[in-house]
Amino acid sequence: QVQLVESGGRLVQAGGSLRLSCAASGLTFSRYTMGWFRQAPGKEREFVAVIWPSGGTRYYADTVKGRFTISRDNVKNTVYLQMNNLEPEDTAVYYCAASVRVGPLRSGLEYDYWGQGTQVTVSS
């Protein structure tokens, strides 16, 4: 049974930093593309970042480029999202997702497994 468990979300002030983690089990982690998405209240889920299985290729949404960094540890079966210079507009539930496909994978439809999400709240 595949499980993706996010952690690290909390309340933080604008300009602050957070690191989200997503621990995977039940799958051969090093073979999966991993993505981060987020969903704010009243809005649709949106792509944040993706990292290919080897970790050598990453893509970001324009809204987070230069502030967020996605990384992975294929020994610990964990993907991370380092978020710096947070803005109130970053407030959302953040989800990690796994896909057997390789590519930019900006659509949630391209992912096979999802975590339950972790809440990030940025106060102004």
Residue with tokens 């604008």: 14
pLDDT at 16: 98
pLDDT at 120: 98
CA nearest 4: which of 113, 93, 99, 119?
A: 113
State which amino acid sits at residue 35.
G
Task: Please name every residue paired with 66 in a beta bridge, in sequence order, or none if there are none.
Answer: none
Spell out the per-residue pLDDT of the chain, length 124, in tens. Answer: 999 999 999 999 999 999 999 999 999 999 999 999 999 999 999 999 999 999 999 999 999 999 999 999 999 999 999 999 999 999 999 999 999 999 899 999 999 999 999 999 999 9
